[in-house]
């Protein structure tokens, strides 16, 4: 382990944020399609229509960034430590789906999110 804790948390935060953006863009694109996928033929049409949406490519780009940062973190840090901290994407997704997708985030989800934050703090203390 040769990176400082703050830098590791920052990088995992960046990777998780990229992943969250990727998910939001993908979800927005899928929402805009409104095709019922109930046969192979329709599934192929769904995928073809999906990859024509520019936002989907934005989603792939963010995904690639996220993976690249993640690989960099893993090249310096123990897997179990990084993996536990990576659960912060649950928190980011809860915020992002409330903000960008106007999904309702209920109290149970906030309690769960709070537990995740607490767990992440405990894990961070062990580095």
Question: 38-56 b/e with 16+ CB inside 10 Å = b?
Answer: eeeeeeeeeeeebeebebb
Closest to other proteins by CB, 21 vs 73, is 73
**Pair of tokens at residue 83:** 């993996």
Report, in Å, the least distance between residue 71 CB and other proteins. 5
Report, in Å, the least distance between residue 116 CB and other proteins. 4
Compute the distance between CA of residue 40 and CA of residue 10 in angstroms, rounded to an integer.
42
Report, in Å, the least distance between residue 87 CB and other proteins. 5
CA dihedral angle for residue 68, residue 74, residue 79, residue 84, rounded to 10 degrees:
-60
Q: State the residues that interact with other proteins by CB under 8 A.
A: 68, 70-76, 78-81, 83-84, 87, 90, 94, 103-104, 106-109, 111-123, 125-126
Residue keyed to tokens 């709070």:
114
Compute the distance between CA of residue 51 and CA of residue 19 in angstroms, rounded to an integer.
18
Closest to other proteins by CB, 62 vs 70, is 70
Closest to other proteins by CB, 58 vs 123, is 123
Closest to other proteins by CB, 52 vs 68, is 68
**Pair of tokens at residue 23:** 């998910």
Report, in Å, the least distance between residue 26 CB and other proteins. 11
């Amino acid at each position: 382990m040769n990176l400082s804790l703050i830098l590791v948390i920052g990088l995992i935060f960046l990777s998780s944020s990229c992943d969250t953006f990727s998910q939001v863009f993908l979800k927005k694109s899928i929402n805009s399609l409104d095709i019922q996928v109930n046969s192979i033929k329709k599934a192929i049409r769904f995928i073809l229509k999906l990859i024509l949406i520019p936002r989907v490519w934005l989603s792939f780009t963010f995904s690639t960034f996220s993976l690249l940062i993640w690989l960099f973190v893993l090249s310096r840090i123990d897997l179990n430590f990084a993996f536990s901290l990576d659960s912060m994407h649950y928190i980011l997704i809860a915020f992002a789906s409330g903000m960008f997708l106007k999904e309702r985030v209920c109290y149970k989800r906030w309690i769960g999110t709070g537990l995740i934050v607490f767990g992440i703090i405990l894990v961070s203390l062990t580095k």
